Amino acid sequence: MHFSIQNILFLLVAVAGFGLFAWQVRKIQANILVGRDRDMSGNVNERLSKTLLVAFGQQKMFKRLTPAILHLIVYVGFIVINIEVIEILIDGLFGTHRVLQFLGPLYSALTGTNEILGALVIVAVAAFWWRRNVKGVRRFSGPEMRAWSKLDANVILYVEVILMAALFTMNAADLKLHQVEGRTLPGAFPISSLLTGIFPDNTTALEVLERIGWWAHIVGILLFLNYLPSSKHFHIIMAFPNVYYSRLVPQGQFSNVESITHEVKAMMDPSYEVPAPAVGPDGSAAAPTPFGAKDVDDLAWTNLLNAYSCTECGRCTSVCPANLTGKLLSPRKIIMDTRDRMEEKYNSPLIFNPNLYGKEAKHDTQEQLDAENHTLLRGYVTPEELWACTTCNACVEACPVNINPLESIVEMRRFLVLEESAAPNSLNVMFSNIENNGAPWAFSPSDRFNWADDLYVADKATTPLAG
């Protein structure tokens, strides 16, 4: 152990890095909690196994093989290489050097795997970069992929390469240093041993290089950690709670609005007692909550959690029948808008500010909207987008982290219909048909049994199917 000023410096850096991160996470937690309450307790086993499968096991990624394999490399690399971060933390705090070496052969396995994964990560990141910037995979573009989203995606890739480069600098310099001094470095270094040739023989230079690699790796990680809350890369953390809290009911099952149930029951049965509205802490009745969602606070907290878990991968949008056929709707945009609106109205992380990056970030209609209408609905999401949805659940099925754009879409439709009576006219016609005739079409209920009239007459005489 060589306890030195370096260790005190490291302690400060680490405390600052983790502290800042905790502070940012709390801001995001506060944003999520502006959403409506929804009881998600229970079903722990089912939820855990879902998390294991979808979040840890990346089950849904494997619908598309190439990105799945590339992503798996980076993901496994992230987890395994982070075991080394534990070592770095201990070394940094206590002045030890490669403290985990007591693990012996296991340590060799660990460092060896790390190095191979590190090299694979660089290859995978290069492939990702190529897919994004050269090949131009279609789902990576779209009107919601604004300057910030594009920059963010590349920043993540660059940072990953820098972190890996720092790791190799540290290992190769350390290895060479040991070679020059005629000692052996515990561990296995299949990649770094190939790199020692380009390193100098000077021990001081090697010591400095090793330190540069070491510091760059850990400081880079801490900086990256604090970049995450502003980035779509936050999904590496949020995917887990998000999958844990995903819906367990059939996808076709929409929630029944409870307050409406009470109203309808009271209408049908005058003796039905509507439960008293919730009373605020000061004894006054809480303000009535609107039907559906106009702004982020009208959505459930799980819908807001969704927004922080989105990887902006566009898988939802690329399978959306409305989007595929050129309509304005993009489920990814609904999710990204939700996050932007939350961070505009409430807290925003250190770096993120949706409207700072590039002129196109401003929504066209935004400036013309008065404060009253500057909300998620209309301020960001237009009714035209919402009405294009066929509620087909393709977006829900496609999302690798179990985000549900459809729920938010339906909540906003509810607001349009129940609070603003702003449904397209043809839908209003359908509503009144149901109300008056018990069918969405203008048929008389007395004709409902007409299909049976000619059950054994007309059809039996028709030609067989082949026709």
Binding positions for ligand SF4, rule: CB under 6 A? 310-316, 320-322, 329, 331-332, 335, 389-395, 398-399, 401, 403, 405-406, 409
Q: Which stretch in 98-106, 218-226, 337-345, 455-463 sits in contact with other proteins by CB under 8 A?
A: 455-463
Please say whether the beta carbons of 113 and 192 come within 8 A.
no
DSSP-derived secondary structure letter, 279: B
Q: Does 443 bind other proteins (CB under 8 A)?
A: yes
Q: Please name the residue ranges forming H helices in 181-288.
A: 192-195, 203-227, 235-244, 258-268
Q: Does 263 bind other proteins (CB under 8 A)?
A: yes
User: Binders of other proteins among 39-68, rule CB under 8 A?
Assistant: 63
Give 312 or 411: the residue with its C-beta nearer to ligand SF4: 312
- The item of ligand SF4, other proteins, none sharing an interface with residue 252, based on CB under 5 to 8 Å by kind, is other proteins
Give 358 or 424: the residue with its C-beta nearer to other proteins: 424
Beta strands in 243-388 (DSSP E): 375, 380-381
Give 90 or 410: the residue with its C-beta nearer to ligand SF4: 410
Closest alpha carbon to 200 in 176, 165, 216: 176
Q: Does 394 bind other proteins (CB under 8 A)?
A: yes
Q: Does 277 bind other proteins (CB under 8 A)?
A: no
Q: Does 451 bind other proteins (CB under 8 A)?
A: yes
Q: Does 253 bind other proteins (CB under 8 A)?
A: yes
- The item of ligand SF4, other proteins, none sharing an interface with residue 397, based on CB under 5 to 8 Å by kind, is other proteins
Please work out the total of residues on this chain that contact other proteins, with binding judged by CB under 8 A: 76
Sole binder of other proteins in the list 127, 327, 345, 357 (CB under 8 A): 327
Helix H or strand E encompassing 74: helix 65-94
The distance of closest approach from Cβ of residue 179 to ligand SF4 in the complex, given in angstroms and rounded to an integer, is 46
Give 203 or 444: the residue with its C-beta nearer to other proteins: 444
The distance of closest approach from Cβ of residue 152 to ligand SF4 in the complex, given in angstroms and rounded to an integer, is 13
User: What b/e readout covers 345-370, taking b as 16+ CB neighbours within 10 angstroms?
Assistant: bbbbbebbebeebeeebebeeeeeee
Give 137 or 225: the residue with its C-beta nearer to other proteins: 137
Closest alpha carbon to 342 in 105, 31, 107: 31
The distance of closest approach from Cβ of residue 400 to ligand SF4 in the complex, given in angstroms and rounded to an integer, is 6
Give 25 or 427: the residue with its C-beta nearer to other proteins: 427
The residue type found at 258 is E
User: Binders of other proteins among 62-121, rule CB under 8 A?
Assistant: 63
The distance of closest approach from Cβ of residue 391 to other proteins in the complex, given in angstroms and rounded to an integer, is 3
Give 194 or 260: the residue with its C-beta nearer to other proteins: 260
Q: Cα–Cα distances in Å, from 220 out to 19, 156, 263, 287? A: 16, 12, 57, 47
Q: Does 329 bind other proteins (CB under 8 A)?
A: yes
Sole binder of other proteins in the list 34, 161, 216, 328 (CB under 8 A): 328
User: What b/e readout covers 432-449, taking b as 16+ CB neighbours within 10 angstroms?
Assistant: eeeeebeeeeeeeeeeee
CA distance 350 to 85: 24
Give 154 or 289: the residue with its C-beta nearer to ligand SF4: 154
Maximum distance among all Cα pairs of the chain, rounded to whole angstroms: 101
User: Which tokens belong to 224?
Assistant: 């990256």
Please say whether the beta carbons of 34 and 298 come within 8 A.
no
User: Which tokens belong to 359?
Assistant: 């002129």
